Structure 1
C-alpha cells in the first residue's frame, strides 16, 4: 500500500482501512516539500500445520506454526527526495507469530547476567541515505550473508527446511550496525560493521571494544541469467572474558536461470573458537570440539506452470574432527492462487549418523542419532 503527497485514491475494497488512515497521518505530518516522498505499509502472513517425528522428547508432534516459507511480518518503509539525487530512506519491520500474536525476534543472552531484549521492530530498524546507486544505512539490519542466502538458497532461506536449518547465521540481523551498498553496473559491493551485534548481551563495553564486534563484506555479480556471490563475516564473542574468541564464515554461491528451471549451488566455510559465545550450535549438537564445518548445497526451482512451482534441494554438512556429518533434503510444492496468495506443501528429511542431531528445523530439534521427517502444509498472503 503506497501513500504519496498526491494522496492516491484508496482502493475501496481494501481490508486495511485502519492501516491506510494511520500511514496517511504519518505522511501528512512529514510535510509537503518533496512530491516524490512516500511511505509504504507492507507485510506477509504465513501459517501452516506441521508434523515432525523423532523430536527431542522421543515422539512425534503436530502443531500450528507461523512463518514457514516466509517469516510473518509487517513493516513500514519510506523514501524522501532531498534533491540532487540524494534520498533519505528508512525501514521498520516487525516479525510476529501469526498463530499466537507474539513477537518473533525477542532474545535472551547467555552468561551470569543475561539481558532479555524485547524487539518491536526485530526484523529491521534502520535509517540512511542513498545517492545514485550508493546507500549508507545505520541501525538493526540484515547481515550480508542473510541477503546472499535469500538470493542463492533454492528455498530462499525460508524459516523452515532451508539453509537456515543448517546455520542460524543465514538469517542473522545485526544490531548497532552501519552498512554500505554500492552498485557498479552488474557488480554490487557491500561492507558492514557493528560495535555490538547482539544487544541481548548488553550495550557496548567501555575499554573492551572488540566485545561483540562484527564485520563483513560481500561482492555479487549478476548479468543476464547468471549470478554469483562471495561473502565473509567475523564475529567476536559477546563476553569480555572471551572476546578474543571468534566465529568466522565465508560463502560462495551461484545461480543460473534456464527459463522454466533455475539452478543453484553454494559452499559455506565455518570456523569457530572453542570459547566463542554464544556457543556454536555445531559444538553443542555433536558433543565434541567440532568447531569447524563445511556446508555444501545444490538445488533447483522448476516452474511447472505459471501458477505452480516445485523446489528441490539438498544440504550436506561436513563437520570436522567427527564423522557426524548430517544432510538435509527438501521438496516444496507451491501453488499461486494470485500474485499475493499461495498454498504450499513442504517435506524435509534430515539424515543423522554417529549421534549428530540435525533436525528439519535446525540442530538440537531431533533426538541425537535419529533421522527426522517433517511435513508442513500452509498458506501465505502478502500485502
Structure 2
C-alpha cells in the first residue's frame, strides 16, 4: 500500500509538472503571438486664440480656434505580422474641434455646392497589406497631393496659414479609394484610384461610371539633404449631367537641407472645366471665368535650437485671364516644451487685388479686394 501511494504521489507530481510546462508553453506562445501584432491609440490636441481683420462679414474678429499647426484628432492604427514579411495594417482617424467638441470633415465641396456627411473617422479609415517596402490599402485615405504638401510645404499643409489656404485639394481625403505605395531605394512610387472620391454627393452611379471618378500618381526622390517630387491627379465632376467635366492638378516640389536651415520650393498647375461640380474652385475663389491657375511657393525652416524652429514662407496664385492674383506671406515660431507639447505663434498677411478674396484661412474668408492680417497663438499636445 505504501508503494502504491508513493507511486500515485509521483504520478500526480509528474502530471502537475507536465501541466505546468504545458501552461507555460501556451502562455509563451500567446505572448509571442501578441508581440507580433499591436494597436496604437494616438492623437493631437491643438488650440489657439486668433485675431483677424477685414473678415468676409466685415470688421475684425477674435476667436478661439482648433487645429492650427495640426488638425486636432484621435486615432487607432494597427499592424499584424502574417509571416514571410507580410503584414496586415489599418488606420482609423477622427478629426474634431477641440474648442467646442464637434466633429470635423463633415462638410465637403465649395460654396452652394457644399455637402454635409456624417463621418466618424473623417480623416482616415483604411485597411490593407504591406510587404517588404510595398503597401496596398483600401478605404478613405489622404490624397497623394496631400502627402506631397505635408512634405514640401514649409508650413506642412497646416490647417491655417499654409498652402491649404490657396487650394483646398492640398489636404484632400479620397473616399472609396485604393492606394499603392512602393519604396525602391531612394525612390517612392505611388498610385491611387477611387470609384467615387466624395460620397457626400452620393454613391457610385450605375451606367455612369465616370461620375465622381478619381485617379492620381506620384514619384518622390529622397537621398541625403535633397528631396523632390512630382505628382498628378484628376477628378471627374460629381453629377451625371456634368461628369465629363474634370479638375486636374500637377505639382513639382523640392527641399534641401543646409546645416540648420531647410529650404522649400514648389509649383502647382490647376485646370478645371467650367462645368465641374461641386464647383470650379478658381471661379469660386476669384469670381471670374478663369479655368486655369498656377500656384508658386517658397520658404525655409530655421532650427535656432533643437527646441525652437522659425518658419517663413510665401505663396503666389497666378489666375489665368484675370488680374485677381493674390499672395500670402507667413511667419511662424514653434517652441517645444517637451517631445509631445509645444507652443507657437503664427502671423500671416494676404494681399488681394482686382476683387480676389484670399484670406489667411482660405478663399472667401476676407471681404473681396481687401487685404487681411491674421495672428494666432496656441499650444499643441501630442499623445
Q: Which residue of 1 aligns with 2:103?
A: 103
Question: Is 264-273 or 30-39 further displaced after alignment?
Answer: 30-39
SS at match of 1:164: helix
State the structure with more CA Rg: 2
Q: Return the TM-score normalized by structure 1.
A: 0.90
**Preserved CA contact (<8 Å) 2:107 2:114:** no
State whether structure 2 residue 293 is matched by structure 1 residue 293: yes
1 CA distance for matches of 2:281 and 2:111? 16
Q: Quick one: distance in 2 between partners of 1:106 and 1:223?
A: 38
Q: Indicate if the aligned counterparts of 1:34 and 1:80 stay in contact, CA closer than 8 A.
A: no
**In structure 1, how many angstroms separate the alpha carbons of the residues matched to 2:226 and 2:311?**
19
Counterpart of 1:63 in 2: which secondary structure? strand
**Residue 309 (1) aligns with residue 309 (2):** yes
The number of residue pairs the alignment matches comes to 354
Q: Tell whether 2:291 aligns with 1:269.
A: no
**Residues 1:51 and 2:39 aligned together:** no
Contact in 1 for aligned 2:234/2:246 (Cα 8 Å): yes
- Rounded to whole Å, the distance in 1 between the matches of 2:59 and 2:113 is 35
Residue 261 (structure 2) pairs with residue 258 (structure 1): no
TM-score (norm 2): 0.90
Instruction: Tell me the equivalent position of 1:243.
Output: 243
Q: Which residue of 2 aligns with 1:140?
A: 140
Counterparts of 1:298 and 1:100 in 2: how far apart (Å)? 34
Contact 1:295/1:317 (<8 A) preserved: yes
Match for residue 341 of structure 1? 341
Single out whichever of 111-120 and 197-206 deviates more from structure 2: 111-120
What residue in structure 2 maps to residue 355 of structure 1?
Answer: 355
Verify: 1:170 aligned to 2:165, yes or no. Answer: no
Equivalent pair of 1:154/1:299 in contact (CA under 8 Å): yes
Matched with 2:16 is none
Q: Which runs of 5+ in 2 are unaligned?
A: 1-29
The answer (yes or no) to whether the contact 2:110–2:284 under 8 Å persists in 1 is no
Could you tell me how far 1:138 is from its partner in structure 2? 0.1
Structure 1 pair 115–354 and aligned structure 2 pair: CA distance change class (3 A): closer
- The answer as to whether partners of 2:139 and 2:178 remain within 8 angstroms in 1 is yes
1:128/1:46 CA distance change after superposition, 3 Å: same
Aligned-residue CA RMSD (Å)? 1.7
> 1:17: which partner in 2?
none
Q: Which residue of 2 aligns with 1:324?
A: 324
String of CA shifts for 1:120-155, please: whole Å, max 9, x gaps. 000000000000001000000000000000000000
Which range moves more in the overlay, 102-111 or 278-287? 102-111
Q: 1:236 to 1:350 in 2, by over 3 A?
A: same
Q: Deviations over 1:276-333 (max 9, x none)?
A: 0011232023221111100000000001111111000000000001011000000001
Change (3 A) 1:67 1:243: same
More helix per residue: 1 or 2? Answer: 2
Q: How does 1:1-383 map to 2 (within 5 A)?
A: 33=33, 35-107=35-107, 116-383=116-383
Residues 48 and 223 of structure 1: CA distance in aligned 2, closer, same or farther (over 3 Å):
same
Provide closer, same or farther for how the CA distance between residues 74 and 233 of structure 1 changes in structure 2, counting only shifts above 3 A. Answer: same
What SS does the aligned partner of 2:35 have? coil
Contact 2:238 2:278 in 1 (8 A): yes
**Structure 1 counterpart SS, 2:254:** strand
